[in-house]
Amino acid sequence: MSEGFYIGLDPSASSSKPSGICVLNRKGVIVLVGKWFEFSEITEKLNSLIGNVKVVAIDGPLQPPHELDRCCFSSKSIICEHQQTTPYKGRYCEQLLLRKGYRCFVTSKNSFAKKWVERCFILNDFIKDSGFRIIEVFPYATRKILFPDLEGKKQYTSFRIRLQSRLNHFGINFPIHHKIYTHDELDSILASITGLLDAQGKSEILGDDLDGYIVIPRLSKPPISLSHI
């Protein structure tokens, strides 16, 4: 595998709240992990990597369900006539996640986080216009697949410490080993790992052309691991 960087982004619902970013190299070394608020900060952080960014993995929906449109998720008071006629709410890729047992956000017209959904759509446009390849990922599923016995809530410090320890044993090299990272930062790390595993051919792609795709690690025996090649 050629040299390159795998970017993970965990966007929040607005620029007033911190979002997570991770830059991972193919050997599992975290080159950068931290927070961002405005989209412009992302390109500022990645400018020095242009030409070497293999993929940007975003934790969030990149498009609406095929029967809906962006107006269905607008933060403005817009009344639209779009309706889903599918036997399920949200996107097909989300239904496949649910069928596999991974609880996930469903991108439906009555979603409780429309502001976040709308920002994810805009982020997708921004990153695409910046010339980067993008995939949609789901860090929760990544964590459950890589560490199925690890239980807990990411809001708790004790759980994040255990998750960092497992990531370290998995092959991730943290820049500051004694630091306890935020859940936004850890989700961005899991997103970047998914991008790297996808490049290594160790991923499963869920979805279709109509509703888009979500990339998750592929279950395997023995358990999946980073191959430093």
pLDDT per residue over 42-82, tens digit each? 988 888 786 799 999 999 999 999 999 999 998 776 778 89
Q: Is residue 159 part of a domain?
A: yes
**Residue 99 parent element (H or E):** helix 92-99
Is the distance from CB of 122 to CB of 151 less than 8 angstroms?
Answer: no
**Domain tally, the chain:** 1
The 10s digit of each residue's pLDDT in 171-180 is 999 998 889 9
Specify the pTM.
Answer: 0.93
Taking residues 91-103, report their average pLDDT.
95
Q: Is residue 52 part of a domain?
A: yes
- Rounded Cα distance between 17 and 38, Å, is 10
Indicate whether 228 pLDDT > 90: no
Q: Is residue 185 part of a domain?
A: yes
- Rounded Cα distance between 194 and 167, Å, is 13
Enclosing domain of residue 43:
5-215
Q: Is residue 37 part of a domain?
A: yes
Q: Is residue 11 part of a domain?
A: yes
Query: Which residue, among 17, 19, 16, has the nearest Cα to 45 in the 3D structure?
Result: 19
The CATH number for 124's domain is 3.30.420.10
Indicate whether 1 pLDDT > 60: no
Percent pLDDT > 90 in the chain is: 77
pLDDT for 222 equals 64
Longest CA–CA separation in the chain, Å: 52
pLDDT for 229 equals 44
Q: Is residue 42 part of a domain?
A: yes
Taking residues 206-225, report their average pLDDT.
88
- With cut-offs at 50, 70 and 90, classify the pLDDT of residue 111: confident
Q: Is residue 36 part of a domain?
A: yes
Q: Is residue 223 part of a domain?
A: no
5-10, strands of its sheet edge to edge: 30-36, 19-25, 5-10, 53-59, 134-137, 212-217, 203-208
Is the distance from CB of 214 to CB of 139 less than 8 angstroms?
Answer: no
